Structure formats: C-alpha cells, structure tokens
Homo-oligomer: A and B are copies of this chain.
Amino acid sequence: MASFNRETLCIKIQTEDFDLTTEISALRQDHKNIGAVVSFVGTVRDMNEGDEVSVLELEHYAGMTEKSLEKIRLEAHQRWSLEASMIIHRVGKLLPSDQIVLVAVASQHRENAFHAAHFIMDYLKTNAPFWKKETLPNGDVRWVDSRVSDQEAAQRWAV
C-alpha cells in the first residue's frame, strides 16, 4: 500500500501531456501482487452537440481540484480492495484527439479495478471543479454544458 499515501504522485494537475506506459509503470512500482490494472483515458472529441470543435480549453479551481480528486480517490480505496490508484487531469488549451485525463487503478483482481476506475471517472465528472470551453471553426466560443447523463452515472454509485 506504499503509494496509497503518496498524494503528490497520485493526483496531478498539469498542462503538459502524459505518457500512459510511464504512468502505469510508476503506479505498479513496488506492488508485486497486482494482477489487474484498469486505465481510463479521456480524449478531446472533434465533435460536440453536432458541431465541429477546434480547440478545448480547461479551467479549474486550483486548490479545490486536488482536494476533491484526492477525496474521490480515497473513497474508491474505501469501497474496493485496491493496491494503488492515480489521477492526472490536464488544464489549459487542448486540441481534438489530445489526452485530457487519466484514471488508473491497480488491484489484485480485475473486478475491483474495473469498478473503482469507473467510479472515479463518474465522480470526477460531477464533483471535480473543471470547466470546458470550446472554440468552433467559425471562431464561436462557448462553455460546455453539463450532462444529465453524467449526473445519473454518478448517482448510480450512491451507497
């Protein structure tokens, strides 16, 4: 459970891109009894609500972001038997097909890792203070609306 308390490694908010292999290797380090690693990568789609998207800009609430992500991560560790987990979320300007977010969970058995990664993403979507603003090819700029489906997804995990 070494990395369980290494908060600085488990939550990262950054403008730069991340490399999946590097991050998963770091996550697995010192945990020999891991049998399953589930990772989720969210990427910028080139379409939203029927419109082409040229640029996506991510704003966040520094300070609260880290705290809320760590709270979600620890909640996952309380609900499922996990060996390690991490969350990386990018902020700033992104382009279509860029990586936005990585959630990775390692456990002895796959069921726990699948549930925990899904849970973390659903909670992140509704509880972590990030906001997306998209620029269309004609120059129009608009804030992305929250989705009812995301609210419903998070509510399914209510205990």
- Report B-chain residues with C-beta under 8 Å of the C-beta of A57: none
The answer on a CB contact under 8 Å between B24 and A35 is: no
Q: Does chain B have a CB within 8 A of A58?
A: no
* Chain copies in complex: 2
Partner of A38, one of B19, B22, B40, B96: B40
Measured between alpha carbons, how far is A72 from B32 in the docked complex, in Å? 30
Nearest B residue (CB) for A100: B35
Binds B, one of A62-70, A111-119, A134-142: A111-119
Q: A110-B121, A114-B117 are in contact. Are A33 and B46 (CB under 8 A)?
A: yes
How many residues on the A side are at the interface (Cβ–Cβ under 8 A)?
Answer: 35
The contact string, 1 if C-beta is below 8 Å from chain B, for chain A 32-47, is: 1111111111111111
Query: Secondary structure of the A side of the interface?
Result: mixed
Return A51 CB to nearest CB of chain B, in Å: 13
Return A30 CB to nearest CB of chain B, in Å: 10
The answer on a CB contact under 8 Å between A35 and B42 is: yes
Return A64 CB to nearest CB of chain B, in Å: 23
Extra 15 A-B pairs, beta carbons < 8 Å, given A20-B20, A33-B46, A38-B39 = A21-B21, A28-B43, A33-B45, A35-B42, A35-B43, A35-B45, A36-B40, A37-B43, A38-B38, A38-B40, A39-B39, A40-B110, A40-B114, A42-B110, A114-B118
